[in-house]
Structure 1
Amino acid sequence: MNLANYINDLLYRYDCVIIPDFGGFVTNRIGATFNTSNQTFNAPAKQLTFNNHLKHNDGLLANYIASAEQISFEKAAAAISLSVINWQNKLQRGSIELNNLGTFSLNEEQKIVFTPTTEVNYLTSSFGLSSIATSAVKRHNTTVKPLHENNQKALPSFIKYAATAAILLTLGIAGYNGYQQNKQKETFAKQEKILEKKLQSATFVIQNPLPTLQLNVSKKNAKPFHVVAGAFQYPENAAKKIQQLKKQGFNAKIIGVNKWGLTQVCFDSFAEKNDAINSLNKIKRTVSEDAWLLVKNIK
């Protein structure tokens, strides 16, 4: 079993994928960027990082493997454990490379160092978008040297005419340069508009796609990051759990029904991912080790 393939699949849908007893992959969205060294526009992307403190099994990876391979949850969890043991053994001898994820190695303090790959963009809205190179805008500076007014009355007539012609010629050159600069600015603006249209109208196709995922546009004050307390077969048990958590001071609520028909209850919801992860770590230490992070927009 190639565990990296399943991790790749989940990173397109979730911002955090945990490998039990090893660590978690976390993605952060970054906007479109412009590289001044090579005059290139890069599409928005998800920046991949690794947190070796996220080791508790949240069930996400095992559930996905069990569904994809048509095996039990226990067998999927056992397969993950075997892969982790294999990775840890290889790290003792050198570095390991995971397909489309990056490279792991150990530093002098025997801590894991992760170098992510830059070839994969996990932001689905940017599929089909490639980097766009533009030509640099060259600006010409033309300086008009002033004529000295000393002894102007003593200058012969032909020198005055020559000076006048020189001024007119210089002004003509400056005007032409200004025209060229305006044309270059227009070209640059058109290139930016082309990029913007590509970012807005890009489409993509995934081979062997995951089940359809509805993406809702985030509204102001939306809180898509949820620290999940549990999932219940009977709604009345979910209601009891909410009352229990509210007595403990949590802003608990129902966040919907998952694909297995279970009613999900969360401790709290957050607008920022870092706040959600901090709350998750605290809850794991003090309340429930089974808590996990779900990214989902709720109407």
Structure 2
Amino acid sequence: MTLEHYISKLLFSNDCVVVPGFGAFVARSFSAELNSATQMLLPPSRRLSFQPGLRTDDGLLRGAIAKREQRNEDVIRLEISDIVSFWHKQLHKGERLRLEGIGMFYIDREGNIQFKPQVDVNFDMAHFGLGVFRASPLVTVNEEARVIPLHQRKDRSRTPLWRVAAVAAGVSGLLFMGGSKSDLDIADNLAGFMDLISWSDSEEAEISEPVAEEAPKAEAVAAEEVAIPEVEITSTPVAATPVQKGTYYVIVGSFVEKANADDLYRELKSKGFSPEVLPFDGRFNKVAISSFQTRTDATTALRSYKNDVQRGAWIYRK
């Protein structure tokens, strides 16, 4: 028998579980917390504290083990006493006692039992499965404006000086040769030089300059508004079924919000089950998939529901 296993299971549905001769585990609700120093985020949960002064046997732990294992409660009482004696011996030797799913115990210098709960276990059924995680800070990266080359064509409207000088020298040479050339020859030569200058002036050079990229201007487009009729969806709340004392309920959902319980009720109803929403107990709205007069019948049905409907189903009795 693993005693800490039964203690952990009972803490999901009970606020206090007493271990006779050792102390009591008390579960209290806490909202989400963020540790700014470690950036650790703790989800909403029910956390444990330990009260070593509460040692009187209230029968809860003993009865749960006896029903689960179908054994005599007197035998269970003796086994619990043996386990507690072993725990005390281990602590008084100066060793640390670790209970899986619950936490760690040790004795301080004053001889008092100290308890450190296991923070990664959440006993809150409404937030079951949410673990502790580290929040990473966001890093802002500034993007620089990109510069892309843009080919620009530039006309060369002026004739270079070296071409003008060459033309002038050619004209002077022709004039100097005046006796050997006719006026017609001079005109023809000048025409050739002018063609060369005219052809050079018509050339175009491509110059690459860096130009900052500009975002395209968005054009405003007038969208035609279409009137959409609003459809109001209303859901009738499910009436809570009074809890019958002595009745065993197989619970498949436990919610803080009544609307969530109603949704699960309708889903189960559509699948052919006969569910019930139990009255709000101050913390949760429980949804039962069926109810039984004996624990034996409820336990038998529980195995089937765990396989077919909800693995986390459990038995509740008022």
**By percentage of residues, which structure has more helix?**
1
Structure ID, larger Rg? 2
TM-score w.r.t. length of structure 2: 0.44
